[in-house]
C-alpha cells in the first residue's frame, strides 16, 4: 500500500514533467513564429529553417553529450529496462524537460543574427553551444555538485530559479558576440550614423509567436519547481503560474503606456517585447513574489526593454532585428537582480557574481567560436545574396512566393 502511494507520486511527478516539457517544446514554435514575423519576407524561410534545425540539433547534441556534461549520466543508451529505479520521477521525463531548455537558449541567438548569417555556420555554432557552452554554465548552478572541484554559483549566494541568467542572458550573450562579429545588415545604418527602421513582414505571426511563448513559459517556470506531488510543491507550482502570468501582463501594460507617452502610438512590437520582457524578468524568481510584486517586476522589464532596444540600436549600433539581446539579456539581468527584493536567501552580490560569471563565460567562448567559424566557414552571406534575401541563397525557395512582387 505504501508502495502504491509512492507509485502514484512517481506517476504524478512524471506526468507533470512531461506536460511542462511539452509546453517548453512548444516555445520552439513560438520563437520560430516571432522571428519569422519580425524579419522581412525575403529572409523568412531561412529563419524558419534555422529554427527547426537548431531545435533538432539541440535535442541531439544534448542527448549525445550535453546532458552528461550538465548533470552527469546520459540517457542516450538507456533502454526502458535500465532506467533508474530509485528516482522520484522517470529519468527520461527529466531529460525531456531539460532538453527543451537547451533549445530555448539557442533559439534566442537565431533572431539576433537574422537576415545576414550563413545558415550552416549558425548550425555549427549550435552544435557547440548546445552541447558544451550551455551545459557547462548550467552545471555551475543547477547541478548540485561543483564541476571544477571548487564551488557552485549557488555557494556564492546566486539563485536563478528557471533561468533568467542561465538560459536567457546566456542566449543573449552568445547573440551579442555573434552580432558584433557579423556586423549590421545592409541599409540599417546611414553614413551620418542614423538608424533606419526595418519593419517585420508579418505582425500576426510575431503576435502568435509571443502568445506561444507566453503559454510555453508556464512550463518553463512551472516545471522548474521540479515536483508536483505534494501540497507544498503544488502550491509552489500554482504560485509560479500565477506570477508568470502577472509579470507578462505587467510587461505589456508598462510597455504600452510608455510608448504611448513617448511616441503617441501603441506600437505593437513593443507590446510584444513587453510581454516577453515581463516573462524573462520573473524567470529568475517566480516563486517568492506576491502577484502584485510579480506584476511590478514584469512592468519594470517592460520599461527597460523599450529603452534598451532604442539604446542598442541608436547609441551602440547593435543591429538585432528582433530585439533579442534587450529582451533576454538586459531584462534577464534585471530578473536576476530582482530576486533579492523578494527572496531574503539571495544576495545582490551573489546575483552580480553569478551574472558576471555566466556572461563572461558565454560571451567569451561564443566570441572565440564565432571568430573560428568566420575563419573556417565564413559567417556572412555575400552582399548580393543579402540583397536578394537569404531565402534564395540558403534555402533555395521563397517563404511567400505569391505575396511579394
Site for its own copies in 77-116 (CB under 8 A): 77-80, 83, 89-93, 95-96, 99
Contact flag: residue 207 with its own copies (CB under 8 A): yes
Binding window for its own copies (CB under 8 A); candidates: 105-113, 136-144, 264-272, 348-356: 264-272
Binding window for its own copies (CB under 8 A); candidates: 109-117, 194-202, 313-321, 350-358: 194-202
Least Cβ distance, residue 327 to its own copies (angstroms) = 15
What whole-number distance in Å separates Cα of residue 361 and Cα of residue 24?
Answer: 25
Write the CA distances from 356 to 61, 172, 312, 364, 368, integer angstroms.
26, 13, 20, 11, 18
Write the CA distances from 290 to 132, 243, 321, 331, integer angstroms.
36, 7, 34, 20
Binds its own copies by CB under 8 A, chosen from 181, 212, 324, 369:
212
What whole-number distance in Å separates Cα of residue 37 and Cα of residue 207?
Answer: 8
Element (H, E) at 8: helix 2-38
Whether the Cβ atoms of residue 209 and residue 268 lie closer than 8 Å to each other: no
If the CB atoms of residues 133 and 248 are measured against its own copies, the closer one turns out to be 248
Contact flag: residue 10 with its own copies (CB under 8 A): yes
Binds its own copies by CB under 8 A, chosen from 69, 253, 333, 381:
253
Please return the burial class of 259, using the count of CB atoms within 10 Å of its CB with bins 0-12, 13-18 and 19+: buried
Binds its own copies by CB under 8 A, chosen from 165, 182, 361, 402:
402
Binding window for its own copies (CB under 8 A); candidates: 76-84, 165-173, 315-323, 351-359: 76-84
Choose among 139, 74, 49: nearest CA to 101.
139
Least Cβ distance, residue 254 to its own copies (angstroms) = 9
What binding mask, one character per residue, do residues 19-58 give for its own copies by CB under 8 A, x or -? x-xxx-xx-xx--xx--xx--xx--xx--xx-xxx-xxx-
Least Cβ distance, residue 281 to its own copies (angstroms) = 14
Binding window for its own copies (CB under 8 A); candidates: 291-299, 309-317, 329-337, 372-380: 291-299
Q: What is the DSSP string of 32-101?
A: HHHHHHHS-GGGHHHHHHHHHHHHHHHHHHIIIIIHHHHHSS-STT--GGGS-SS-SS-HHHHHHHHHHH
Choose among 142, 197, 192: nearest CA to 167.
142
Contact flag: residue 236 with its own copies (CB under 8 A): yes
Least Cβ distance, residue 248 to its own copies (angstroms) = 7
Binds its own copies by CB under 8 A, chosen from 180, 292, 368, 383:
292
Q: Is 182 left (phi over 0), alpha (psi -120 to 50) or beta?
A: alpha
Binding window for its own copies (CB under 8 A); candidates: 170-178, 256-264, 304-312, 319-327: 256-264
Question: 117 - beta bridge partners?
Answer: 380
Q: Which residue has the cell 552545471?
A: 139
If the CB atoms of residues 23 and 153 are measured against its own copies, the closer one turns out to be 23
Sign, CA dihedral 59-107-366-391, equals: positive
Least Cβ distance, residue 353 to its own copies (angstroms) = 26
Q: Which of residues 120-139 bind its own copies (CB under 8 A)?
A: 120, 123
Binds its own copies by CB under 8 A, chosen from 161, 214, 220, 363:
214
Number of residues that bind its own copies (CB under 8 A): 129
Report the Cα 207 to chain-centroid distance in Å.
17
Contact flag: residue 261 with its own copies (CB under 8 A): no
Question: 189 - beta bridge partners?
Answer: 195
Q: Which of residues 305-364 bind its own copies (CB under 8 A)?
A: none
Binds its own copies by CB under 8 A, chosen from 70, 177, 201, 303:
201
If the CB atoms of residues 55 and 140 are measured against its own copies, the closer one turns out to be 55
Amino acid at each position: 500500500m505504501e508502495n502504491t502511494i509512492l507509485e502514484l507520486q512517481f506517476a504524478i511527478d512524471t506526468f507533470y514533467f512531461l506536460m511542462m516539457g511539452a509546453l517548453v517544446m512548444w516555445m520552439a514554435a513560438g520563437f520560430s513564429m516571432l522571428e519569422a514575423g519580425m524579419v522581412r519576407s525575403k529572409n523568412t524561410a531561412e529563419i524558419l529553417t534555422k529554427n527547426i534545425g537548431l531545435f533538432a540539433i539541440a535535442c541531439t547534441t544534448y542527448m549525445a553529450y550535453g546532458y552528461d556534461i550538465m548533470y552527469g549520466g546520459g540517457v542516450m543508451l538507456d533502454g526502458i529496462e535500465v532506467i533508474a529505479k530509485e528516482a522520484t520521477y522517470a529519468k527520461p521525463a527529466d531529460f525531456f524537460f531539460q532538453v527543451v531548455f537547451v533549445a530555448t537558449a539557442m533559439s534566442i541567438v537565431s533572431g539576433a543574427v537574422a537576415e545576414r548569417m550563413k545558415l550552416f555556420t549558425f548550425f555549427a555554432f549550435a552544435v557547440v553551444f548546445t552541447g558544451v557552452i550551455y551545459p557547462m554554465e548550467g552545471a555551475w548552478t543547477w547541478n548540485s555538485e561543483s564541476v571544477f572541484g571548487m564551488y557552485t554559483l549557488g555557494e556564492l549566494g546566486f539563485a536563478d530559479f528557471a533561468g533568467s541568467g542561465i538560459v536567457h542572458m546566456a542566449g543573449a550573450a552568445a547573440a551579442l558576440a555573434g552580432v558584433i562579429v557579423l556586423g549590421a545588415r545592409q541599409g540599417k545604418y546611414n553614413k551620418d550614423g542614423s538608424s533606419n527602421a526595418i519593419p517585420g513582414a508579418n505582425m500576426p505571426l510575431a503576435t502568435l509567436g509571443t502568445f506561444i511563448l507566453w503559454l510555453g513559459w508556464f512550463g518553463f517556470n512551472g516545471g522548474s519547481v521540479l515536483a508536483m506531488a505534494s501540497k507544498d510543491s503544488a502550491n509552489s507550482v500554482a504560485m509560479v503560474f500565477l506570477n508568470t502570468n502577472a509579470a507578462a501582463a505587467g510587461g505589456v501594460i508598462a510597455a504600452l503606456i510608455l510608448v504611448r507617452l513617448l511616441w503617441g502610438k501603441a506600437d505593437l512590437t513593443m507590446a510584444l517585447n513587453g510581454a516577453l520582457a515581463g516573462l524573462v524578468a520573473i524567470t529568475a524568481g517566480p516563486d517568492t513574489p506576491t502577484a502584485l510584486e510579480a506584476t511590478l517586476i514584469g512592468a519594470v522589464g517592460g520599461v527597460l526593454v523599450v529603452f534598451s532596444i532604442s539604446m542598442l540600436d541608436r547609441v551602440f549600433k547593435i543591429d538585432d532585428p528582433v530585439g533579442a539581446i534587450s529582451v533576454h539579456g538586459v531584462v534577464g539581468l534585471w530578473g536576476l537582480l530582482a530576486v533579492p527584493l523578494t527572496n531574503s536567501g539571495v544576495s545582490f552580490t551573489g546575483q552580480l557574481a553569478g551574472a558576471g560569471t555566466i556572461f563572461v563565460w558565454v560571451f567569451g567562448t561564443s566570441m572565440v567560436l564565432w571568430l573560428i567559424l568566420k575563419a573556417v566557414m565564413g559567417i556572412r552571406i555575400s552582399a548580393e545574396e543579402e540583397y536578394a534575401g537569404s531565402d534564395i541563397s540558403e534555402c533555395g525557395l521563397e517563404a511567400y512566393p505569391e505575396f511579394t512582387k
